[in-house]
């Protein structure tokens, strides 16, 4: 296959993925058909199904592409190799701030991610492509695990809490709150309102929790 042909295919795939993302965010994944995506992307249904034999596979690749873009930018700003001797607490603060920045700059991705989690839990938990997607989160998982291990050494935050529980009540809580504020799912919230201050208060509560007794 010549380079020109490959470039055309890559451009077509990127257009499909970006178009699908926009429509999924606007209408939710469940409400969108593959035919609607093909039409909006300017490709035939046969072409779309040649790239993605099922809607689930398209949904997974859309999620993977969008998060890869974010993680690549994170790795450019702070490569894992550069973390070195940064205290564990500072790493946690950086992570929480990163999630607040996601809320400020990537609300559509947070909305998609929340919908994605609900969708795949219903239709494809054991899908092989989904397993590959989870493996693509390697960079994030390594950062979080190394952060927890560092805290065992420097005692900058509590490690009497099991690692899985620690992640659920800290970074995953922040992520979930960002998703819900982005979608306007917090009771009494307004979708167009900026809830950065609430997320900053949540961050303060998390930091107080993990440093109590240190």
> pLDDT tens digits for 44-88?
999 999 999 999 999 999 998 888 888 787 777 766 666 677 899
pLDDT of residue 148: 96
Quick one: average pLDDT of 132-147?
79
Provide CB contacts within 8 A for 56, sequence distance 6+. 120, 123, 124, 127, 129, 130
What's the CA gap between 184 and 204, in Å, rounded? 22
State the pLDDT at residue 189: 63
The DSSP symbol for 54 reads: S
The pair of structure tokens assigned to 96 is 């929480």
Task: Report the predicted TM-score, pTM, of the whole model to 2 decimal places.
Answer: 0.80
Q: Angle, to 10 degrees, between the axis of helix 3-27 and the axis of helix 34-41?
A: 120
- Predicted pLDDT at 30: 94
pLDDT (average), residues 197-201 = 96
- Predicted local confidence at residue 188, as pLDDT: 63
């Amino acid at each position: 296959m010549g380079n020109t042909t490959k470039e055309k295919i890559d451009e077509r795939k990127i257009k499909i993925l970006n178009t699908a993302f926009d429509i999924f965010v606007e209408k939710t994944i469940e409400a969108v058909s593959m035919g609607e995506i093909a039409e909006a992307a300017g490709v035939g249904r046969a072409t779309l199904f040649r790239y993605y034999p099922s809607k689930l596979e398209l949904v997974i690749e859309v999620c993977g592409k969008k998060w890869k873009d974010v993680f690549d930018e994170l790795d450019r700003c702070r490569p894992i190799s550069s973390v070195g001797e940064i205290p564990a607490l500072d790493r946690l603060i950086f992570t929480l701030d990163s999630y607040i920045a996601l809320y400020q700059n990537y609300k559509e991705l947070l909305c998609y991610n929340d919908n994605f989690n609900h969708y795949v839990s219903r239709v494809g938990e054991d899908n092989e492509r989904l397993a590959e997607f989870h493996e693509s989160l390697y960079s994030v998982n390594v950062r979080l695990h190394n952060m927890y291990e560092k805290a065992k050494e420097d005692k900058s935050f509590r490690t009497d809490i099991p690692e899985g529980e620690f992640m659920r009540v800290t970074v995953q809580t922040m992520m979930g709150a960002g998703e819900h504020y982005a979608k306007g799912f917090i009771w009494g919230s307004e979708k167009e309102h900026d809830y950065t201050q609430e997320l900053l208060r949540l961050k303060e509560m998390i930091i107080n929790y993990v440093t109590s007794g240190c």
